[in-house]
Amino acid sequence: MTAALWSAGLATGLALLSSALSLLTARNPRSLRLLVMPVFGLAGLVALCAGLLALTQGGVATATLPLGLPWLPWRIRVDALSGLFLSVIGVVSLAVGIYGPGYVRSFERGRDSLPALGGFTGLFLTGMLLVVLADDAYLFMVAWELMSLSSYFLVVFHHDSAANRRAAFLYLLMAHIGGLAILLGFGVLASFGGDFTFTAMRSAELSLPWASVAFTLAFFGFGMKAGLVPLHAWLPEAHPAAPSHISALMSGVMLKVAVYGFIRVVFDLIGQSHWQWGVAVLAIGGVSALMGVLYALLQNDLKRLLAYSSVENLGIIFMGLGLAILFQASGHGTLGAVAFVAALYHTVNHALFKGLLFLGAGAILHSTNERDLERMGGLLRRMPWTGLFFLTGCISISALPPFNGFVSEWLTFQAALQAWQLDSGVLRSLVPVAAAMLALTGALASACFVKVFGVAFLGQARSRHVRRARPVPMSMRVGQGMLAVLCLLLGVLPTTFIGLLGGVTRQVLGQALPQATAHGWLWLTPIAPATASYGAPLVALALFTGLGIGLWVFGRGNRRVRRCDAWDCGFAPPAADMQYTATAFAQPIRRVFGLLFHIEETVTPQENGPPRYRLNVRDRAWGLFYLPVARTVERAARQVVRLQSGNVRIYLGWSLATLVLLLWIMA
Amino acid sequence: MNGTAWGLALLQALLYAALAPLLAGWVRKLKARLQNRRGAPLLQPYHNLYKLFSKEARMAHTASLLFRAAPYIVFVAVWLAASSIPLLTTGLPTAAIADVIVIAGLLALSRFFLALAAMDVGTAFGGMGASREMFVSALAEPAMLMAVFTLAMTAHSTNLASVVDYQLVTNQEVLRPSYLFALAGLVLVALAETGRIPVDNPSTHLELTMIHEAMILEYSGRHLALMEWSAQLKLMLYGTLLANVFFPWGIAQGTGLLALGQGLASVVVKLALLGAALAVCETVLAKMRLFRVPDFLNLALLLALLGLLSHVILEVGI
């Protein structure tokens, strides 16, 4: 286990090193892709190895760092849970490290500050690794802030546009409100445990009201970072604003760090579970999943769409966690473990396919300078490899067999279907409703990604620069390909991977899933073979055999396909602007779920020329949640302004009064 | 035993593929008779498939490789999903490969590629068909899952063979209320998913009304044959799901020859009856406007959810 700890430390060091090395880029712009990004990727690789070591070996290793305050040293610890998240961070960082050199090349000629890009990317990775390694609240909060702040600078990297600056400010604000909640949550735990170390917090005995307070604070803080509805509105602003490989890190990895924090605090440190908490998490997760995918469907900006879909997927993860708490609290340990494994599986899956999709969006941006779906089209023929990998990501995220997204959704369904074992009638009927929401989410997600792939990669190009798109460099293709292969592997060999997760469930829930892996690698049977089984390798074998026979055997020789014109109904041949647009594709769904959005739709007739159509879809969370809060804060600030007289003596008086008050309270 | 079982499973899969055009022909024939037409012969779908397979396949200049790959993926996915539903007997190993959620997933996979293939050529029809298909299925899929979840929760298994076995073992002469709700919901979903009236019309090429036909408009030759065959398989899949899971009478539980024969006879009779009911429905109903379809499917979801709730509230523990 110490090997895992050492290599995790090495990974953190390498991340810091890549951050320091990026100072060289001020002189020599090429060193960003020749030196900084490779070191970054290496840090990812080492983190991945450390994580896999921790997962396979089991056990716990701790160390005290010679850093921090004299009476409050920093402690780090590697166990199975942190091992899993180390590998998630590592694998996406490795892909980004491979992909990055090609992508950042376009920045070399620009006016953008390269030391800032490389430096904050390295710090960002350092922060995330340290959050996962931290074994006391002090280091955890420092690392958390390091992660939030460095990612703020990455969001604001393209600071020429006012929209990006606004998005970044909103992100900073939200990150800090969330951080504050987490800090207060740790405060509650520390006051019962008597110390800031996680060991002390774990052994603390919390009364139910205080445990609920700590849970609420943690759920609020981590949920804010994870982008759960209704706190999500910052996420689709901030994630797309960053350069694409950073978006991949933010959506793919940073959101997972929030999931890690939630699991660490709620499952590990608080160590109690109550069904009310489970219901709250399940409900918020369900609403996030559904709203996230509906908003994603209506987006035409590819990166914004992907960001909204992150809200959806985090919702699915939290649904799994909610079910786990629910079953755990009702005394059904095995079922809790199934739901928990489903959540962990989806966490890994989302990191892989969302990373992949953001890298794909970056590749499109790189070669066409376009983020708007309405101007894309026909990219599959221009960029076949990126198209293939993007398709893999789309199938995976739409939860279709035999790819990885399906496995985690299947497990979540399996857990939800065991609701009949619960004692309370209300819960028994509530859980199936959540399953219905999950089913609707899955179906809408597949509609959403048919839209994305169909509009961007199929059909004909809708603008000139997209028609002339060129394939991206090899390094970018390899980065995407790696994640795509992992998506397929995790989909085809779920049993092997769930066996790997056994250490995490044993550590966190004290319960493993012996049944899941009992019938060999071919069969996934989470509860019992008679209850449910899924032969993922066989499904994949059948599909790929069918495809192979079809393309190679039938498509050869004189049975080749002859080309002709598309059917034009006897009128003009089909042109690019006759195709269905992204807006048109989503129109039926927009109409049916219209009440959930804030839609402004106007058609203005023009004197000469066709009428102009304007559509504006806004997030209802702004009007319902963000603006009232902002207005209240503003009103309160106006009251406080009265203190501000401009006279120094009065300010000193206020300070003295405060001091006296504090002394009185403390005494 | 194991070898025989896998052989039988293969046989069942082949039987699915062989019988699917017959069911489509039967429905078409009956419908024609009900409309006072003579109609094409019962075996016409076989002739059509044969003709299409021997014709040359053509595709548009703008089509990509995905257009060529899609028919195979769609066909294999639907076929695999169908083969996992017990047709003659419940004692087959294929049932363990795919439980009912995987079946729904495989159908979703076929729909995903069907819609993508429709968008590949870049005509207005294809996009329209894809958009409508994804819209209809987004509303139909949760209803379908809810309906089958009701069965799964009753039998404590998502494995369809176990569900059928459970039904046979408990030997319920009267259908439970939850089953009735689920059945009603699943019938509505089946109509929507197989593209029948009142949601879609399989025999029209009128651009304003079509969904499924709009998606396969660009296909020809063997590709079109596979697409049509998989649509027929899908009809048979839903037919078998309704017939064998809700009314499992006659299905074999072992692999004895007599039992298998009885299973075959009973499933043929049940599917013929279901086909007749479908033909009557298609004759007396009119196609709905597209934006009436959500009401239809919401009804299906509501029924399925009521089934599930009546199960968890009324029937658990009894």
Q: Is pLDDT above 80 for A8?
A: yes
Mean pLDDT across the stretch A52-72? 88
Structure confidence at residue A667 (pLDDT): 76
- Could you tell me the pLDDT band of residue A606, with boundaries at 50, 70 and 90? confident
Q: What does the mean pLDDT of chain A come to?
A: 91
Per the model's pLDDT, the better-predicted residue between B198 and A285 turns out to be A285
The chain B residue lying nearest A449, using CA atoms, is B112
Flag if B159 and A550 touch (Cβ within 8 Å).
no
Query: Looking at CA atoms only, how far is residue A48 from chain B in angstroms?
Result: 31
Q: What is the mean pLDDT of residues A289-310?
A: 95
Q: Nearest by CB to B142, from A443, A545, A591: name it.
A: A443
**B68 in contact with chain A, both atoms CB, cutoff 8 A:** yes
ipTM confidence: 0.95
pLDDT of residue A262: 96
For A112-133, letters b (16+ CB in 10 Å) and e give: bbbbbbbbbbbbbbbbbbbbbb
- Residue A662: other Cβ atoms inside 10 A: 10
- The pLDDT of residue B231 is 95
- What residues of chain B, 236 to 265, have a C-beta less than 8 Å from chain A? none
What is residue A165's predicted lDDT score, i.e. its pLDDT?
92
Rounded Cα–Cα distance for residues A374 and A301 (Å):
8
Contacts with A533 from chain B: Cβ below 8 Å: 96-97, 99, 159
Q: Do A459 and B76 touch (CB under 8 A)?
A: no
**Is A495:A520 a contact under the CB 8 Å cutoff?**
yes
pLDDT tens per residue, range A464-519: 999 999 999 999 999 999 999 999 999 999 999 998 998 899 999 888 887 777 78
CA distance B80 to chain A (A): 8
pLDDT digits (tens, 9 = 90+) for B111-129: 999 999 999 998 888 999 9
pLDDT tens-digit series, residues B213-271: 889 989 999 999 999 999 999 999 999 999 998 888 888 887 788 888 999 999 999 99
**A97-106, A290-299, A354-363, A425-434: range with lowest mean pLDDT:** A425-434
Query: How far apart are the C-alpha atoms of B151 and B157, rounded to whole Å?
Result: 8
Residue B171 has pLDDT above 70, yes or no: no
What tens digit of pLDDT does each residue of B263-285 get? 999 999 999 999 999 999 999 99
Of all residues in chain B, the one with the smallest CA distance to A572 is B123
3-state secondary structure of A72: strand
Contacts of B140 in chain A (CB under 8 A): 443
Residue type at position A427: L
Amino acid sitting at position A606: Q
Q: Which of B13-49 are b and which e, b meaning 16 or more Cβ less than 10 Å from the residue's Cβ?
A: bebbbebbbbbbbbbbbbbeeeeeeebeeeeebeebb
Per residue in A186-237, pLDDT tens?
999 999 988 899 999 999 888 999 999 999 999 999 999 999 988 898 999 9
Smallest CA-to-CA distance from A34 within A46, A22, A51 is with A22
pLDDT at A462 (0 to 100): 92
Nearest CA in chain B to A568: B123
Q: Do B116 and A458 touch (CB under 8 A)?
A: yes
Is the CB of residue B308 less than 8 Å away from at least one CB of chain A? yes
Report pLDDT for A153. 94
Sign of CA dihedral B93, B98, B101, B106: negative
Residue B185 has pLDDT above 80, yes or no: yes
Taking the C-alpha atoms of residue A48 and residue A476, their distance in angstroms, rounded to an integer, is 20
Q: Which tokens belong to A565?
A: 């014109």
- Whole-angstrom CA distances from B308 to A415, B14, B151 are 16, 34, 8
Answer yes or no: do A436 and B145 touch at CB < 8 A.
yes
Q: What percentage of chain A reaches a pLDDT higher than 90?
A: 68
- Predicted confidence at residue B85, as pLDDT, reads 93
C-beta separation of A190 from A137 below 8 A: yes
Span B30-47, average pLDDT: 94
Each residue of B73-105: pLDDT tens digit? Answer: 999 999 999 999 999 888 788 888 889 999 999
| Element of type H or E holding A354 | helix A333-368
Please list, in sequence order, all residues whose beta carbon lies within 8 angstroms of the beta carbon of residue A555, skipping any fewer than 6 positions away. A561, B68
pLDDT band at residue B173 under the 50/70/90 scheme:
low
Banded model confidence at residue B15, pLDDT cuts 50, 70, 90? very high
Q: Residues of chain B with pLDDT > 70: what percent?
A: 96
- To the nearest 10°, report the CA torsion of A415, A416, A417, A423: 100
Do A284 and A229 meet the contact criterion of CB atoms below 8 Å apart?
Answer: yes
Q: List the single residue in B68, B118, B291 with the smallest CB-CB distance to A591.
A: B291
Other CB atoms within 10 Å distance of the CB of residue B257: 9
Which pLDDT belongs to residue A540? 95
Give the lowest-confidence range in A361-375, B14-28, B167-181. Answer: B167-181
Q: Do B222 and A554 touch (CB under 8 A)?
A: yes
Please name the member of B60, B68, B101 whose beta carbon is closest to the beta carbon of A413. B101
A378 close to A461: Cβ distance less than 8 angstroms: yes
Q: How confident is the model at residue A621 (pLDDT cuts 50, 70, 90)?
A: confident
- Mean pLDDT along residues A446-450: 96
How high is the pLDDT of residue B208?
Answer: 66
Chain B (161-190) residues lying within 8 Å, Cβ to Cβ, of chain A: 162
Task: Note whether A96 and A479 are within 8 A (CB).
Answer: yes
pLDDT band at A109 (very low <50, low <70, confident <90, very high): confident
Question: Is the Cβ pair A535, B76 closer than 8 Å?
Answer: no
Residue B50 has pLDDT above 70, yes or no: yes
Q: Does residue B210 belong to the interface with chain A, where contact is any CB pair within 8 Å?
A: no
Residue-level pLDDT at B168: 85
A130-144, A507-521, A550-564 — which one is most confidently predicted on average? A130-144
> Closest approach of chain B CAs to the CA of A574, in angstroms?
6
Task: Output the CA–CA distances (angstroms, integers) from residue A109 to A136, A156, A160, A244, A353, in the order listed.
Answer: 44, 19, 16, 18, 31
Band (pLDDT 50/70/90 cuts) for residue B34 is very high
Contact call for A579 and B135, based on CB within 8 A: no
Q: Is the pLDDT of residue A565 over 60?
A: yes
- Mean pLDDT for the stretch of residues A153-170: 91
Q: State the pLDDT confidence band at A557, using cuts at 50, 70 and 90.
A: low
Q: What is the pLDDT of residue A644?
A: 80
Interface residue B157 vs chain A (CB under 8 A): yes
**B20 or A564, higher pLDDT:** B20
User: In whole angstroms, how large is the CA radius of gyration of chain A?
Assistant: 26
Q: Is residue B2 pLDDT above 80, yes or no?
A: no
Average pLDDT over residues B47-63: 91
Return the top range by mean pLDDT from A46-50, A228-232, A637-641, B92-96: A46-50
CA gap A89, A321 in Å, rounded: 20
